[in-house]
């Protein structure tokens, strides 16, 4: 079948969109054509020429009380957008949200300005304020319009941040870091939003092969023949029903001066380019967003593109396990047994629990690396059960090591990509017993997110390991502060910060295998 796809289509249009962040003075902000004025719900109104003659009563009459996220446009020679901050700005997360609200309220403006002197304090440095403001503005302005005949989104060309003379250098550092982190999330959003026929596993591999070296990464691509030779029976088994070949994309970042003692982090990303459910076919209502089932791989790839620019001193290796999961006469059947890299066998009792199967191959390969990672973190849009447990704003995490769990939580706090650690409860593992194989790919009707994590834990040997289930957070149905409609890119910024701050943990704290047999 022939389908017309423009050969010039770019799945990562965000790379071509740049924002110039100007670190200036308060005078530069006042002179800007569009600026924000941050106002708390209580206390005196801030000093601002646009507020001359205004009182809290007059603003309330116009519908503005200073509630967090509330905005009011005050036109004049320049446009001033009042932004409510509730009890005030005391954290980077609150500032990121406020700047996102400002950016959306001035959506027609290509140049924005904000005075940061009023929010910097002992608890929020100029560096962190500039970082958060940059992320909030760039991510709130994101739109995926690569396939529209006419793009309507006004790109954010310039963001001016006013700081004191003493804070100029620190703010510059923060803004530059914010641009790299925002780009990571935007690229991950691009990949998640791209239609599945426009982004097959093979095309994703082509993108990685092209961009990886430009950003300081070594890239290896494994096609079907190479995967057969590796014995990755999980990835090949999930791919069995597809006309498109699978790919495993291996990315390696080695900082200058790295030695055998340099901490090494392994990342494994689920890259199901489209998930029909296979023989266990999904209902139509559950299939519409399954082009985003590759967002774990997208997050790893996008995060690793920024490591060199940020001067990350740790080694990082990524394995992206990419295929679609399709229904056809050659698809893996219920009851089939797949042999994972290393020899462990899996009885497929539900072909829609495919992510854990492809991830198993990647986890085993990570443990076999000659320069073995000090820890492995995998990320996947894995279970609806995580959504049922945590809603749509918080990702589930699991870990066999307390230090890995703590480092994941710290990275989540920095990025405001919320996670919640759930128990890796080995008492449930016997639900995955199989009469014909080493284990089955599903368990009972309850605790599905825990069972999926226990399944993955079977393949990490004695390596400290963490798992992030991003099924709850992969998309938003409408704009939500700095999260723009569609793919959220969740995990790209988190993994970047994790890699930057990573320290090798001590030995694992929990049993490594459930020993079901």
What is the set of active-site residues?
Answer: 282, 356
d(CA 247, CA 15): 23
Structure tokens at 275: 């998930």
From residue 127, alpha-carbon distances to 23, 85, 94 in Å are 11, 20, 15
Residue 42: alpha-carbon gap to chain centroid: 35
d(CA 194, CA 186): 12
Task: Provide the b/e sequence for 129-141 (b: ≥16 CB within 10 Å).
Answer: bbbbbbbbbbbbb
d(CA 328, CA 341): 24
From residue 493, alpha-carbon distances to 225, 230, 472, 488, 497 in Å are 34, 31, 17, 11, 6
d(CA 426, CA 445): 16
What is the layout of strands, in order, in the sheet containing 375-380? Answer: 218-222, 247-253, 315-325, 264-275, 375-380, 465-469, 395-399, 419-421
Structure tokens at 206: 């082509």
Q: How many CB atoms lie within 10 A of CB 145?
A: 12
Q: Torsions phi, psi of 269, nearest 5?
A: -120, 135
Contact between residue 109 and residue 154 where contact means Cβ atoms under 8 Å apart: yes
d(CA 17, CA 155): 8
Structure tokens at 91: 């954290």
d(CA 359, CA 341): 11
Task: Compute, in degrees rounded to 10, the torsion defined by CA atoms 457, 463, 464, 467.
Answer: -40
d(CA 329, CA 77): 67
What residue has token string 């050659």? 330
Quick one: which of 304, 315, 309, 324 has its CA closest to 208?
Answer: 304
d(CA 99, CA 457): 40
């Amino acid at each position: 079948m022939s389908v017309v796809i423009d050969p010039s289509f770019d799945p990562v249009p965000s790379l071509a969109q740049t924002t110039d962040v100007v670190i200036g003075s308060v005078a530069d902000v006042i002179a800007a054509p569009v600026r924000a004025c941050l106002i708390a719900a209580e206390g005196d109104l801030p000093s601002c020429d646009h507020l001359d003659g205004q009182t809290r009563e007059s603003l309330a009459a116009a519908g503005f009380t200073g509630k967090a996220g509330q905005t009011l446009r005050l036109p004049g020679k320049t446009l001033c957008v009042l932004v409510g901050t509730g009890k005030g700005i005391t954290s980077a997360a609150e500032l990121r949200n406020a700047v996102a609200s400002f950016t959306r309220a001035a959506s027609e403006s290509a140049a924005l300005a904000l005075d940061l002197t009023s929010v910097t304090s002992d608890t929020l440095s100029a560096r962190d304020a500039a970082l958060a403001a940059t992320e909030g503005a760039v991510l709130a302005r994101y739109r995926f319009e690569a396939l529209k005949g006419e793009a309507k989104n006004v790109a954010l060309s310039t963001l001016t941040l006013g700081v004191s003379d003493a804070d100029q250098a620190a703010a510059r550092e923060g803004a530059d870091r914010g641009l790299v982190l925002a780009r990571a999330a935007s690229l991950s959003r691009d990949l998640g939003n791209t239609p599945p026929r426009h982004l097959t596993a093979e095309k994703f591999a082509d993108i990685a092969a092209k961009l990886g070296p430009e950003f300081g990464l070594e890239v290896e691509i494994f096609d079907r023949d190479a995967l057969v030779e590796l014995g990755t029976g999980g990835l090949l088994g999930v791919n069995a029903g597809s006309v498109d070949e699978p790919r495993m994309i291996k990315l390696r970042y080695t900082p200058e001066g790295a030695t055998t003692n340099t901490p090494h982090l392994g990342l494994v990303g689920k890259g199901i380019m489209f998930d029909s459910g296979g023989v266990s076919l999904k209902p139509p209502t559950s299939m519409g967003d399954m082009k985003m089932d590759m967002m774990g791989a997208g997050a790893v790839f996008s995060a690793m593109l920024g490591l060199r620019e940020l001067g990350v001193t740790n080694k990082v290796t990524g394995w992206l396990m990419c295929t679609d999961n399709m229904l056809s006469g050659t698809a893996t059947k219920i009851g089939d047994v797949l042999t994972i890299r290393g020899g462990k066998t899996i009885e497929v009792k539900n072909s829609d629990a495919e992510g854990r199967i492809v991830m198993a191959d990647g986890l085993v390969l990570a443990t076999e690396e000659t320069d073995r990672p000090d820890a492995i973190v995998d990320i996947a849009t894995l279970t609806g059960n995580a959504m049922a447990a945590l809603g749509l704003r918080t990702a589930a995490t699991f870990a066999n090591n307390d230090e890995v769990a703590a480092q994941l939580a710290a990275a989540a706090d920095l990025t405001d990509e919320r996670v919640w650690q759930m128990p890796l409860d080995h008492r449930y593992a016997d639900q995955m017993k199989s009469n014909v194989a080493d284990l089955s790919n599903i368990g009972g009707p309850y605790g599905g997110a825990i069972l999926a994590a226990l399944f993955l834990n079977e393949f990490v040997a004695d390596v400290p390991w963490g798992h992030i289930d991003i099924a709850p957070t992969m998309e938003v149905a409408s704009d939500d502060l700095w999260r723009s409609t569609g793919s959220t890119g969740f995990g790209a910024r988190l993994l970047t910060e994790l890699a930057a701050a990573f320290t090798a943990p001590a030995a694992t704290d929990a049993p490594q295998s459930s020993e079901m047999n």
